[in-house]
Amino acid sequence: MKTSKITLLLAVLFFFTSCASRPKLYPNDTLRTKGKVASEADIDRCIKDAETYLDSSEGKKIAKSAGFGAMVGGAMGAVAGAFTGDIGGGLAQGAAIGGAGGAVSGTLSPDEIKRRYVNQCLADKGYHVIGWD
C-alpha cells in the first residue's frame, strides 16, 4: 500500500512538472492587434518550428537523468534495505523513486537553444518575449 501511494505521488509530481514551458509576451502593438488567439497560434507555430528545425537533445537529457537517478536511488535503497533486512525491496523502491526523480529533474531545465529560437521567431513576427513560465 505504501509503495502505491509513493508511485501515485511521483506520477502527479511528474505530470505537473512536465507541462511545457511557454513564452510570455509583452503587450505591445503586435499583441494588441493580433489578439490572444492569433498570438497563441504564433507561439505554437514557433515552438513547432523550433522542434522541427533543431535536433533537440531534451529527450536524451531526460533519459540520462532518469538513468542516473535510478542508479543513485537504487544504491540508496539497497543501503536502506540492508538496515531493514530487505535489500531487494529497498533496491527496487530506491531505483523507482530515483528514476522518477531524475526524469522530473531533467524536465525542469528547458532547452535554452529552443527558447532562443522561439524568442527570435516571435521577435521576427513583432512580439517581445518578457519571460517563460
| Structural domain spans, the chain | 2-132
pTM (whole model) above 0.85: no
Lowest mean pLDDT of 20-24, 103-107, 112-116, name the range. Answer: 103-107
Average pLDDT, the chain: 73
- pLDDT bin (cut points 50, 70, 90) of residue 108 is very low
Residue 133 sits at the vertex; the CA angle it makes with 25 and 9, to the nearest 5 degrees, is: 155
**Model confidence at 22: pLDDT above 80:** yes
Cα(38)–Cα(109) distance, integer angstroms: 28
Q: What percentage of the chain has pLDDT greater than the value 90? A: 35
Residues with Cβ within 8 Å of residue 57, at least 6 apart in sequence: 111
**Residue spans of beta strands (DSSP E) within 20-111:** 23-25
**pLDDT, position 76:** 61
